[in-house]
A and B are shown apart, each in its own frame.
Chain A
Amino acid sequence: MTIKTSEQDNTCILEFSGEMVIHNISECKSQLLALLQSLQSKSIKLNLKEVEEFDSTGFQLLVALQKHCKENGITLQLDELSASVKTVFELYRYEL
């Protein structure tokens, strides 16, 4: 998975693309963590439109991210979701 960062009005925009599934999920975590270490802004927007494959491990990781943000006073927003991400969130009736 690749994460593209950009900024807009003090909000850091993270664009995820590729896969967030069991076989690369550890990598995803390291990537995300590294990114957050160097994060300056207190507000993040997630764009998941280009996430082609997404499973429950991806779901868990996003929830973990949400918890992290809450702990550290960072606001988290979800922008766009790909179909595969939508499927999971709808099945789990979960709102991030």
Chain B
Amino acid sequence: MQIDETVKVFVIEATDLLQDMENQLLHLESHPDDADTINALFRAAHTIKGSAGIVGVESVEKFTHQVENLLSNVRDGKLKIDAGMSELLLDCRDHITVLVDLASEGNTEVPEEVLKRGEALLKRLSAYLQQPQEPQSSSSSSSTEPLKIKAVDTQTGRASASDNWHISVRFGADVFRCGMDPMSFINYLGTIGVIEHLSTITDAIPTLDAIDPETCYLGFEIAFKTEFDKKTIEDVFEFVKEDCKLTIIPPHSKVQEYIKLINDLPEDAVKLGEILVKSGAITQAELDMALSAQFDTTLKQGQPAMPIGEILVKEGVVSPEVVDAALDKQKKIVEQKTKESKTIRVDAEKLDSLITMVGELVIAGAGINQHAARIGDPQLLESASVMSRLVENIRERAMQVRMVPIGETFSRFNRVVRDISKDTGKDIELVINGGDTELDKTVTEKIGDPLMHLVRNAADHGIESPEERVSAGKPARGTIWLNAYNDAGSIVIEVVDDGRGLSKEKILAKALQKGMITEGQNLSDREIFALIFQAGFSTAEQVTKLSGRGVGMDVVRKNIEALRGTVELESEEGKGTTVRIRLPLTLAIIDGFMVRVGQSLYVIPLEMVLECIEMPHTESTKERRHYVNLRGEVLPYIKMNEFLNEHESKSKYQSIVVVTFAGQKVGLVVDELVGEVQTVIKSLGKLYKDIKYLSGATILGDGSVALILDIPKLVSIVQKQELEELV
């Protein structure tokens, strides 16, 4: 079924908002009075409802509207969030998610059981709404606050009875100078609808001696009937939109909208109010009420009347967007958790093609540099150097654009842990560290599922019940840590728990049973734990609905390896378990260190390079002992000529490039150090996929090809070889 473009956009935005709502609701469980979060929660629901209405997803609009009502009561202090309401709101949020998903598939029909669920939820919601409301807390009637406008129904918000759009426009001063005339706009409006009522606002026109006759001072308040949409109406004013003040209020909007408009406009409020009443946008009664509150304040405090807007803002009657917009301006830079930051949605494909082009740019730039160096012209060299710097900047920015903080993925797990805690009766806390560590977007998306599995494992099998924990001398509350940090060119993500840990004996026993290992095989701790990642392995005594079926860990491993990452496990029985995932930082362009081995050029990722030293001449004659003394440290080295099957080294003086990864140091013996280079990684293609120690190739400035070494793989291969040789 064809899905409307607008619905697609709605689904994306609603999904984001729904995730926010979940986070907010979880936060409110422990902080039920946090006004900021309550406001944000209300806004999210309000926005979802509004957008659903605009794109025509009725199911979502109608249901969310009720949720919004409840939240509005909470926001106004009439209701407090307790455990029951929190649970209900989470269920409602889940239900809205289901409805949004149905919409994204193009289903306009809501299946029976979903409908039933919705109705049950609505019943629970209305139970709250009919409760006798809490009396106003004393703080809101202190002498510094004006009277609350109780009569105006702010919850459902009485809507204007008028069928008309309300257009308010104040033309910019230069309209005439730009060769235009407000008349043409009014006339044009008349061609797309009917102007039911029009008031020309001449308040701004100065008297004859003060007027600048070529400046436009005109404004209009128009009641307009049309079948067209807001955009069409807006487009009428396209040529002056930039400089004029234009407000369009749809038909049947809440009274507050009009009051807000009155207040935003420079002219006298009473007069504007009268115009609006005349045009049928609001009734005289509604206007009177809003105005009387204003006069009441004046009378009570003997102060000059506050603008209506201010009163309404203080009461919380005006749409909260206004309140919060003002508050946000005063706030200092917020933590990444709130999504108030300015963002733009970008099509991922566009971004990818941009990055590819940047990659080509890097190569071309390198070419220019080479030629410039050869020609030796100082000015050319200078220009080339400037260009290189700029290209470098672009490259960095381009890479950063694709990076998203992993905290977004992490925060999903709060819900998971909470639900498991409730379901199993355990007390588990989730602690997140390093949520602002950034990862490439695709990696962030793909790491979600494996992480989810690991977190579930930790919660389900790792953390013991409170009784067990206490009798083991641990605190009743178990903790799961999600850590993310950078380490030498990789991102490390850890899932750590202080639960019961894994028993090496059990693992060995199981592995033996399944024939994965043989009797007498001597495995290091690392290797024992690595067995868990093999297919078909599970030491869980019971298979729960969550895990234990033995299909989890090896799928986790595969997913991580597909991202060119590694995963390992550490555990201590009785104390806890740590699962550590390592992922490469970037994909397309790397900073590398180029070396020559034999006749070929190889590139080593720069982040892994620690230092370069001379190869002691004595070593090169010895075959077996591949170790060198690095300032008192033992440094194993690999002779790259041998390893890569290159020509025997002709040079007497070789160099050792000391690389590091995962806390280990290894030396690579090479013929020549060429230098730093910035290159685009090109994959080698299927033919070469079995060459594990190469992670790709790159085209240098002069067109020649260098191979990029995958250091971790390289080292593990050598280790394996040596083990085999020992046996």
Q: Which of B181, B213, B216 contacts A29 (CB 8 A)?
A: B213
* Given A55-B183, A64-B208, 13 other A-B residues pairs in contact with their CB atoms under 8 A: A22-B176, A29-B208, A56-B216, A56-B218, A57-B214, A63-B202, A64-B206, A64-B213, A67-B206, A91-B183, A91-B186, A93-B199, A93-B200
Q: Which residues of B contact A56 (CB under 8 A)?
A: 176, 181-183, 216, 218
Q: Known contacts A22-B176, A56-B176, A93-B199; is A28 also within 8 Å of B207 by CB?
A: no
Interface residues of B in 41-78 (CB under 8 A from A): none
Query: Would you call B205 an interface residue if the criterion is a C-beta within 8 Å of the partner chain's C-beta atoms?
Result: yes
Which chain A residues lie closer than 8 Å to B207 at the CB level?
Answer: 64, 67-68, 71
**Cα–Cα, bound, A93→B279 (Å):** 13
The answer to whether A32 touches B208, judged by C-beta atoms less than 8 angstroms apart, is yes
* B208–A65 CB distance below 8 A: yes
Most chain A beta carbons < 10 A, residue from B181, B207, B218: B207
Q: How many residues of B contact A (CB 8 A)?
A: 23
CB atoms of A60 and B213 under 8 A apart:
yes
A75–B717 Cα gap in the complex (Å)?
Answer: 103
Which residues of A, 52-84, contact B by the 8 Å Cβ criterion?
55-57, 59-61, 63-65, 67-68, 71
- Judge if A5 is at the interface, Cβ distance under 8 Å: no
Residue of B198, B200, B210 with most chain A CB atoms under a 10 A cut-off: B200
Check if B213 sits within 8 Å of A25, measured CB to CB.
yes
Let me know if B200 and A60 touch, CB within 8 A. no
Residues in B with CB closer than 8 Å to A94 are 200, 202
Closest partner residue, chain A, to B199 (CB atom): A93
Contact residues of A: prevailing secondary structure: helix
Interface size on A, residues (CB 8 A): 25
Contacts known (A55-B181, A56-B218, A57-B176); A63 close to B213, Cβ less than 8 A: no
CA distance A67 to B176 in the complex (A): 21
Q: Give residues in B with beta carbon < 8 Å to A.
A: 176, 181-183, 186-187, 198-200, 202, 205-211, 213-214, 216-218, 220
Measuring CB to CB, which residues of chain A are less than 8 angstroms from any residue of chain B?
A: 22, 25-26, 28-29, 32-33, 36, 55-57, 59-61, 63-65, 67-68, 71, 88, 91-94
Q: How far is the CA of A32 from the CA of B213 in the complex (A)?
A: 12
- Assess the A22–B200 pair: CB atoms within 8 A: no
Contacts of A28 in B (CB 8 A): 213
Closest 5 CB pairs of A and B: A68-B208, A92-B200, A25-B213, A64-B211, A67-B207
Given contacts A60-B216, A93-B199, contact A67 B183 (CB under 8 A): no
A78 to chain B, nearest CB (A): 15
Give bound CA distance, A24 to B214, whole Å: 9
**Closest chain B CB from A52 CB (angstroms):** 16
Contacts of B200 in A (CB 8 A): 92-94
Give the chain B neighbours of A93 by CB distance below 8 A: 198-200
Nearest residue, chain B, Cβ from A58? B213
CA–CA, A63 to B202, complex, Å?
8
With a cutoff of 8 Å between Cβ atoms, the chain A residues found around residue B199 in the complex are: 93
Q: A74 to nearest B CB, angstroms?
A: 11
- Shortest distance from the beta carbon of B276 to any chain A beta carbon, whole Å: 15
* A26 interface neighbour in B186, B214, B218, Cβ under 8 Å: B214
Please determine whether A25 and B183 come into contact, CB atoms closer than 8 angstroms. no
List B contacts of A88 (CB < 8 A): 183
Residues in A whose Cβ lies below 8 Å from that of B210: 64
